[in-house]
Structure 1
Amino acid sequence: MKLRSSEWFENENAELTFQHRSAMRAMGHNPESFVGKPIIGIFNTWSDFNSCNYPHRELVEHVKRGVLLAGGYPIELHTITTPADFMKPSDLMYRNLLSMDLEESIRSQPIDGVVLLCECDKTVPGQLMGAASCDLPALQLAAGHRSSGSFRGKTVNYGTDLWKYSDDYKAGLLSEEEWRELERSISCSLGGCPVMGTASTMKSLSEMLGMMLPGTSSIPATHASRKIAAEATGKRIVEMVRTGLTPSRLMTEAAFHNAIKLLAAIGGSTNAALHLTAIAGRLGIRIPIERYAELTEDVPLIVNLQPSGSHSMDDFYKAGGLRRVIRNLLPLLDTSCLSCTGETIGATYGGDAPGEAAGEEDDVIAALEAPFKKQSGLAVLKGNLAPGGAVVKKSAVSPELFRHRGRAVVFEDYADMLARIDSEELDVAPESVLVLKNCGPVAIGMPEWGSIPIPQKLLRQGVRDMVRISDARMSGTSYGAVVLHVAPEAAVGGPLAVVRDGDWIELDIERSTLRLELDDAELASRMAEWRRPEPRHKRGYPRLFAEHALQAPEGCDLDILRPETKADAAFVPPVVGRG
């Protein structure tokens, strides 16, 4: 086995070897301790702003111990982190930047294998994108989900329950005192959102792709097993270096198809459609947006978690977690795909989970034959309003809104929506269709603004869902008849740009259509009058993102990071010479 790090530390050029070993000695690393051993780069993403990833400040030590026990040598590094609560206007932009940070840190330094410490929404896909581009042995370790809170005798979960109680507060059903009490109660520990939001979804998909140790994606942040998983991850990555088990061997086209089916079965986040497409794209694998609907047509919802169901991630873990879900789903999967253990997923997940009786189902995880909902996965909508496609999460839509026709209430941008959504003068009814423009990747980085708030005057009438359409994303913890990722986006001249108040819009989820009721001549006339807005950003990374971001159906990656063919995806190593 020839280690990549030997180019730095065992080079035939004595001057280079001297320089690199001497630099390591300056930090207390004795060459006798690391030369000839797999050097494992452990990439950390905690910060004082990121409560989701903060547990990695401690977990990293357990990873290091595992690496040492397996005969490797651990080196801790840091990349940017993406705290979804704080990064404005959108953390999606910085997913790509994180992937670049990771890729170039790996490329340019003496690293043989990688452990990626993740949790919050964009760290998981951003790291997988970077790992795919490098194709060195890599494993992810999640921080785990936070505990559920308690509010006036009821269990509450950060994320989904926040949106529900927010509607009650706006409707006058929750007092100011109760609202402040909820703030103190709903988020009471470190870790990711305790529901099947984007973080839990992407951790689950990472495990399905073979990039996380089996059974580790759904362990709570506060559970001792999380530390044991950290040590096991450190051990396993050393073996993966020795056997050459790389991301391209794990994240195959068939593995992505498995992940898409799992996405439907767990009622996962709509954001996953962007992320899986972007990760696959780094490997030269194309996932047409239609594939998300085609592959999940017969996949039911077998996980009863918020926002598509009622339970929390703690309940999910106690019921057997993702290992049990994958076992139940095996008849629909390509079981020849590999897990990071080097075994097939059929062999890895085919047996009972520890302490679990085969076939024992409950109100959290169901069998395929007795699902919680037959309608699951993402519906991919097309029509003259979204010629490039749009998505809606079927398991989160109120049944009566699967087919709907209504007049548009249009907001030109997010500021316009905030200014008018709760006005008593807003001409809106329960059957209206709320339309929000200029929130796509090029316009402003595609924030999670798509779950447009129900107007206050409708909330007071008891309305809790209505059709909403935008080129934005929504939080994976949100729910409702929310049509997202409309492409092309308004800012680049998609038909969404010319929708006006009072236009009739028809949504038909069963037929996968989204139609603006205008004849072709009128639509063409409006498009001819449309003028592209001035770029929001004149410099820096936001400008680079706006100039190079692909549209939602292509994952919103940067075109300069995506290989055109599988051959182009090959990792280009650095020339190791004098610095």
Structure 2
Amino acid sequence: MSKSPVKLRSAEWFGTADKNGFMYRSWMKNQGIPDHEFQGKPIIGICNTWSELTPCNAHFRKVAEHVKRGILEAGGFPVEFPVFSNGESNLRPTAMLTRNLASMDVEESIRGNPIDGVVLLVGCDKTTPALLMGAASCDVPAIVVTGGPMLNGKYMGKDMGSGTAVWQLSEQVKAGTLKLHDFLAAEAGHSRSAGTCNTMGTASTMACMAEALGTGLPHNAAIPAVDARRYVLAHMSGSRIVEMVNEGLTLSKILTREAFENAIRVNAAIGGSTNAVIHLKAIAGRIGVDLQLDDWTRLGAGTPTLVDLLPSGRFLMEEFYYAGGLPAVLRRLGEAGLLPHPQALTVNGNTLWDNVKDAPIYNDEVIRPLDKPLVADGGIRVLRGNLAPRGAVLKPSAASAHLLKHRGPAVVFENLEDYKARIVDPELAITADSVMVMKNCGPQGYPGMAEVGNMGLPPKLLAQGVTDMVRISDARMSGTAYGTVVLHVAPEAKAGGPLAVVQEGDWISLDCANNSLHLEISDEELAARLAVWQSQQREDPADATGYRHLYVKNVLQADEGCDFGFLVGCRGSAVPRHSH
């Protein structure tokens, strides 16, 4: 086996004939590794977020075996290692609380170990940004292998979208139009295989973002988890990472500003999750790209949504893949001149456009032509005004058109517990024209900025046939959710943002066309309220210790990506040599 043409990081561990080299090699050999595996071969880490508590990623042991085959075939040596697996479905209070923790685990595991390149096994919502953030901080050759979406849900002979169905069916139970036993019967068909949510939720969105950024091979985003082609892609990714190491193709050559601009445009075209705003900002911050909230308006506004998927449309990820997957979307955008930087480099060494210019498109209903979009303007709307001085976001493709310009009186919930206690009260003073406002669910306030922004409507209004209302909070919402929901209000209430002092009955105006969110009180009244609020603040004892203390004291606001301030920036892969 010929040696790698580049100087390998792993040689600092295994390439010396002194005491240290002896010990590093000797301890590894207790696993039955022969001597020739240390003779100039690229050592490839497989960063695995497998966990039985993360159902989306429960098949990753098998995925990793196929990655290993590819690495061995290409002349590398695979070493699999676990990192914190933050699964959205089980982890409380929210997986977002531990995204940064997982990224720290990834960063230190890569930097501190004899790894020349890394394969990132990702799937569930936060594992994709967490692993990309950690790898970006080290700037080593890295390739993303996504676990893929689960099979379509089935219920009463029809397709059912994971996540989205939960919100829809639970609202029907509240409205009295669906019996409880029918609701519970849907459980069995909701999640029929391993894999991530089969809607265009955050997991599918971030899989598409990873592919649009150029960090995964073509079709990485959409091949179903249980499709044999998913394992072929894992094998090919294992082979490719060895070549990337030999070429010196590090993440900083792929995660350029141009790549992020492509991803923002693609997010609009797929009807992607609002969570992508936070995650892309955080990834960009780690690699040193100055991505701003207003880039989403500049690049996303006016972009048509072409992918007809729940929660915005009708179909699911299986149909998306069979219709041509993300390469088909990229081709449509490129042919229309809507791909900002078609020459951006990707992990296979080709440009983004070279990868997709001949991509087949099999179904014009699922991946629509430019002249028949699902939504004419699918970009994430960035709203500003005295209620959100640093911005808030709204997803028009999941909203009701008649509510995108709306004015109404506020019904205020001080926190999630207040909302849960009062929303079911038949005496609650609320109408379809009211604006529901929830505070203290942001990065510091929850903490972790839970996906509770898509507040369920009051049962009494659901029973009257009301299906949507304007809702505003400093929280996030699941990418599988829908509605006219204003999210990520910054600064958040706990940080002293104006949201903290909204009062019951205050009038609020929303005007998406003009990117405006306004609390209709004077500047003087707002300042006076904030002064009183500030004088009443006391530290929450729960914030005083443990990881929660680290999080609350260091987390940045939503417009900055909710990373820890001390993690922003690329620290590289260099590490002091340890002498035993």
Distance in 1 between the 2:252 and 2:554 partners?
25
Match of 2:201 among 197, 203, 228: 197
- Asked if the contact 1:24/1:31 (under 8 Å) is kept, the reply is no
- Asked if the contact 1:53/1:120 (under 8 Å) is kept, the reply is yes
Match of 1:8 among 13, 18, 36: 13
- Map of 1:221-370 to 2, 5 A cutoff? 221-330=225-334, 331-333=337-339, 334-353=341-360, 356=361, 362-370=364-372
Give the match's secondary structure for 1:458: helix
- Asked if the contact 2:57/2:196 (under 8 Å) is kept, the reply is yes
Offset at residue 574 of structure 1 (A): 1.2
- Asked if the contact 2:404/2:512 (under 8 Å) is kept, the reply is yes
Distance in 2 between the 1:287 and 1:533 partners?
34
Give the match's secondary structure for 2:572: coil
Mean Cα deviation higher: 30-39 or 264-273? 30-39
Flag structure 1 segments of 5+ consecutive residues without an equivalent.
564-568
Offset at residue 290 of structure 1 (A): 1.0
Q: Confirm or deny that 1:467 pairs with 2:474.
A: no
Superimposed CA distance per residue, residues 31-52 of structure 1 (whole angstroms, 9 cap, x where no aligned partner): 2123310000001111111110
Give the match's secondary structure for 2:411: strand
- Asked if the contact 2:25/2:38 (under 8 Å) is kept, the reply is no
Q: Confirm or deny that 1:561 pairs with 2:560.
A: no
Match of 1:573 in 2: 574
Match of 2:32 among 19, 28, 44: 28
- Asked if the contact 2:304/2:377 (under 8 Å) is kept, the reply is yes
2:579 alignment partner AA: R
- Map of 1:438-517 to 2, 5 A cutoff? 438-443=440-445, 444-517=447-520
Give the match's secondary structure for 1:441: coil
Flag structure 2 segments of 5+ consecutive residues without an equivalent.
1-5
Superimposed CA distance per residue, residues 10-48 of structure 1 (whole angstroms, 9 cap, x where no aligned partner): 126x10111101111112222212331000000111111
Distance in 2 between the 1:352 and 1:478 partners?
30
Q: Confirm or deny that 1:376 pairs with 2:378.
A: yes
Mean Cα deviation higher: 317-326 or 25-34? 25-34
- Asked if the contact 2:15/2:38 (under 8 Å) is kept, the reply is no
- Map of 1:405-444 to 2, 5 A cutoff? 405-443=407-445, 444=447
Mean Cα deviation higher: 469-478 or 520-529? 520-529
- Asked if the contact 1:66/1:233 (under 8 Å) is kept, the reply is yes
1:577 alignment partner AA: H
State the identity %.
Answer: 49
CA gap of 1:544–1:570, structure 2 versus 1, over 3 A, is closer
- Asked if the contact 2:140/2:573 (under 8 Å) is kept, the reply is no
Offset at residue 541 of structure 1 (A): 1.2
Distance in 2 between the 1:123 and 1:9 partners?
30
Offset at residue 517 of structure 1 (A): 0.5
- Asked if the contact 1:491/1:532 (under 8 Å) is kept, the reply is no
Match of 1:386 in 2: 388
Distance in 2 between the 1:31 and 1:174 partners?
65
Match of 1:566 in 2: none
Match of 2:113 in 1: 109
Give the match's secondary structure for 1:404: strand
- Scaled by the length of structure 1, the TM-score of the pair is 0.97
Offset at residue 542 of structure 1 (A): 1.3
Q: Confirm or deny that 1:129 pairs with 2:145.
A: no
CA gap of 1:440–1:185, structure 2 versus 1, over 3 A, is same
Distance in 2 between the 1:30 and 1:436 partners?
60
Give the match's secondary structure for 1:468: strand
2:12 alignment partner AA: E
Distance in 2 between the 1:86 and 1:147 partners?
20
Distance in 2 between the 1:553 and 1:487 partners?
7
- Asked if the contact 2:161/2:190 (under 8 Å) is kept, the reply is yes
Give the match's secondary structure for 2:300: coil
CA gap of 1:212–1:533, structure 2 versus 1, over 3 A, is farther
Match of 1:525 among 503, 516, 528: 528
- Asked if the contact 1:361/1:367 (under 8 Å) is kept, the reply is no
Give the match's secondary structure for 1:447: coil
1:440 alignment partner AA: G
Offset at residue 533 of structure 1 (A): 4.1
2:347 alignment partner AA: C
- Asked if the contact 1:493/1:532 (under 8 Å) is kept, the reply is no
Offset at residue 572 of structure 1 (A): 4.9
Q: Confirm or deny that 1:54 pairs with 2:58.
A: yes
Q: How many residues align?
A: 568
Superimposed CA distance per residue, residues 222-243 of structure 1 (whole angstroms, 9 cap, x where no aligned partner): 1010111110010000000000
Give the match's secondary structure for 2:102: helix
Offset at residue 570 of structure 1 (A): 4.2
- Asked if the contact 1:42/1:114 (under 8 Å) is kept, the reply is yes
Match of 2:3 in 1: none
- Asked if the contact 1:261/1:296 (under 8 Å) is kept, the reply is yes
- Asked if the contact 2:72/2:78 (under 8 Å) is kept, the reply is yes
Distance in 2 between the 1:453 and 1:62 partners?
42
Superimposed CA distance per residue, residues 183-221 of structure 1 (whole angstroms, 9 cap, x where no aligned partner): 222112111000100000000010111111112210001
1:576 alignment partner AA: R
Give the match's secondary structure for 2:222: coil
- Scaled by the length of structure 2, the TM-score of the pair is 0.96
Distance in 1 between the 2:452 and 2:42 partners?
44
- Asked if the contact 1:302/1:368 (under 8 Å) is kept, the reply is yes
Superimposed CA distance per residue, residues 232-289 of structure 1 (whole angstroms, 9 cap, x where no aligned partner): 0100000000001111100100110000000000000000000000000011211111
- Asked if the contact 1:301/1:371 (under 8 Å) is kept, the reply is yes
Distance in 1 between the 2:537 and 2:296 partners?
31
2:566 alignment partner AA: I
Offset at residue 381 of structure 1 (A): 0.4
Q: Confirm or deny that 1:181 pairs with 2:182.
A: no
Distance in 1 between the 2:421 and 2:538 partners?
20
Match of 1:98 in 2: 102
Give the match's secondary structure for 1:452: coil
